[in-house]
Chain A
Amino acid sequence: MLRAAGWRLLRLGSEHRAPTAAVAARGYHERVVDHYDNPRNVGSFDKNDPTVGTGLVGAPACGDVMKLQIKVDDATGKIVDACFKTFGCGSAIASSSVATEWVKGKHMEEVLSIKNTEIAKHLSLPPVKLHCSMLAEDAIKAAVKDYEAKKAKLAAGNAETTQTEKVAGA
């Protein structure tokens, strides 16, 4: 009886361990599942905020949409906060989540060097899902580009207003 109880305990232990291992080998990688179950940095910032850059990209082949927003500190050029919103498969969601995590606290130039292969390796994406990591990389670049465009427009706008003021003053 004791032996039976012992076997049962052992079997329970092995059963407990086996499914997770099986899931990891068969389906999504545990990191992807983790990002899906515990989403980090989901949300959105105000689009019209001058310190916010919005990157909006889509993959027409699978109908995915990804929005990645970064909040940049004007003085230092560092990214202080990031958030994302993705409609698509688990791999796409996980890729954008990882992108927001990596982007926080980095400089804008540094962030442009994040490659999709790194994201894919981190999440152990299968070849068929590599385009999701590509999408994340494109989203980062689009966000940075949007922020720069905003800054340039603001600077041009400021220059115009100072000119008109001077003209008015004179």
Chain B
Amino acid sequence: MTYVGGVRLYLGLWVMSSNSCAMVVSKGLVNPPSTGREPYFVSPPGAAARPLLAVDGYASCSFIFLLFLHRLLFFLRCPFFFSFVFESPCKMLNMLSVFSVLRRQFLENNCLNVFLIMRRSKNCSLFSLLRTSLKELVYENTAKRGLWLSASSLVDEDLHLHPRILSNFCINTRSFSIPVKRFDRASNCRGLGHHEFPEFRGLNRFLCSSEAGSGELPRCWNCGGAAVSPGPFLACGLCGSVQPVDQSIDFFQIFGLERKYEIKDGNLEGKYKDWQKKLHPDLVHSKSEKEKMFAAEQSARVIDAYQTLSKPLLRAIYLLKLEGVHADEEKTITDPDLLAEMMDIREAVEEANDSHSLNQIQTQVEEKFEKCSRSFEQAFKMHDFDNAIAAIERMRYHDRALEEITKKL
């Protein structure tokens, strides 16, 4: 047999075998066992540890067939395709086994594991074929349509998916009704890049109604390691990569403080410097564009946090903001006592020309500021937000006066 003839024979056999495998696999999918409509619960963590390489009936048949084929070709002396033939069955086996596990998890309504499996599976030429078959399955079972869309958007890694679209999918999962148009958009826009981890966590929290699911630790986009040390996950402890900004971590968490007005022994400056040693953009100037962007955003956020928490007035306003109370309204007040008092102080500052009298006024105003500060703390503890806002207004006036004095000094 000539060499060329051997090649043709091999290729023909290969094509036939892959087609048959695919047919066999998809046939298995079209008639899934019917399951009852269960809500989206994540199974206990033990189920996630199921081994991925569970061999399915179809997988084993195709493997044996391909092994036979490999032997045949060796006999026919086609050495070029030796590794190729051997490599692809392994790939196929992996793919099929992954898919069988995936199918089982999917049918058991195990959303989280579906995501994990699809995320871990690499892009493979057969995978798109399997995805199409899965799509058919999903459309049979309308309740999972939204789930499929979210999953497909997570798996594709080429394009950048806007986080908002993912949140749209989350919302639609709840309503269980997705127009076909949205599905087309999902299949067109490919992938989240590496931004999927914060959104993935959000999605996870959304879909899980049991606490077991929310125990999922954030993972580093670079090395995949979970957050090990306590405290906010701004930089990975294992590989040192800076993580994307998570808006749900508030300023107090960044500095490891409780959400209170008083911060004694907070050592803000020390902690601030520690964070900057890990997050400063100068440290990542030789890394990827993405990491540079993360570093810039994270260090800017840490700087914001430091400045907000170090000034009592800004800290007070931030505390109220976290409670959902907006203190910065542009309204006019006509409280005669406060305003008359402030007028007097400001006039005194204008008239005082020597540093001695200015210092005197400064001490007085600082005392008054302390008093307002205490009253804010009291009001905040009692959740008396009206009084808290009033106290903030007084604090702001005194702060302005102190600024003017400092300018003059």
Asked if B393 and A57 sit within 8 Å, CB to CB, the answer is no
Asked if B340 and A56 sit within 8 Å, CB to CB, the answer is yes
One of B328, B334, B404 near A57 (C-beta < 8 A): B334
One of A57, A63, A85, A131 near B330 (C-beta < 8 A): A131
Asked if B334 and A138 sit within 8 Å, CB to CB, the answer is yes
Asked if B397 and A142 sit within 8 Å, CB to CB, the answer is no
Q: Decide: A87 near B346, CB < 8 A? Known: A56-B340, A57-B339, A60-B396.
A: yes
CA distance A85 to B346 in the complex (A): 11
Question: 0/1 per residue, B212-234, Cβ < 8 Å to A?
Answer: 00000000000000000000000
Contact partners of B329 in chain A: CB under 8 A: 60-61
**Interface contact tally, CB-CB below 8 A:** 59
Number of interface residues of B (CB under 8 A): 23
B297 to chain A, nearest CB (A): 26
Report the nearest A residue to B404, measured CB to CB: A87
Interface hub of A57, A59, A87, A142 (most chain B Cβ within 10 A): A87
Interface positions of B from 355 to 409, Cβ below 8 Å from A: 392-393, 396-397, 399-400, 404
In this assembly, does B333 line the interface, its C-beta being within 8 Å of a C-beta of chain A? yes
CA distance A62 to B397 in the complex (A): 8
Contact partners of A135 in chain B: CB under 8 A: 332
In this assembly, does B50 line the interface, its C-beta being within 8 Å of a C-beta of chain A? no
Asked if B332 and A138 sit within 8 Å, CB to CB, the answer is yes
Question: 0/1 per residue, A22-66, Cβ < 8 Å to B?
Answer: 000000000000000000000000000000000011111111010
Asked if A87 and B343 sit within 8 Å, CB to CB, the answer is yes
CA distance A60 to B396 in the complex (A): 7
Q: Decide: A142 near B334, CB < 8 A? Known: A58-B397, A63-B397, A85-B343.
A: yes
In this assembly, does B73 line the interface, its C-beta being within 8 Å of a C-beta of chain A? no
Contact partners of B343 in chain A: CB under 8 A: 56, 65, 67, 85, 87
Interface hub of B330, B332, B338 (most chain A Cβ within 10 A): B332
Contact partners of A58 in chain B: CB under 8 A: 332-335, 338-339, 342, 397
Question: 0/1 per residue, B319-359, Cβ < 8 Å to A?
Answer: 00000000011111111101110110011000000000000
In this assembly, does A134 line the interface, its C-beta being within 8 Å of a C-beta of chain B? yes
Contact partners of B330 in chain A: CB under 8 A: 59, 61, 131, 134
A132 to chain B, nearest CB (A): 10
A45 to chain B, nearest CB (A): 14
CA distance A60 to B329 in the complex (A): 8
Interface hub of A59, A60, A87, A135 (most chain B Cβ within 10 A): A60
Asked if B334 and A63 sit within 8 Å, CB to CB, the answer is no
Asked if B346 and A60 sit within 8 Å, CB to CB, the answer is no
CA distance A64 to B397 in the complex (A): 8
Question: 0/1 per residue, A61-80, Cβ < 8 Å to B?
Answer: 11101010000000000000
Asked if A59 and B399 sit within 8 Å, CB to CB, the answer is no
Q: Decide: A59 near B332, CB < 8 A? Known: A65-B346, A87-B346.
A: yes
Contact partners of B338 in chain A: CB under 8 A: 58
CA distance A37 to B404 in the complex (A): 19
Asked if B332 and A63 sit within 8 Å, CB to CB, the answer is no
Asked if B336 and A63 sit within 8 Å, CB to CB, the answer is no
Complex A-B: 10 CB contacts under 8 Å:
A56-B340, A57-B334, A58-B332, A58-B334, A61-B329, A61-B331, A65-B339, A65-B343, A138-B332, A138-B334
Q: A56-B340, A60-B392 are in contact. List 8 more A-B contacts (CB 8 A).
A: A58-B397, A59-B331, A59-B333, A60-B393, A63-B396, A65-B346, A134-B332, A138-B334
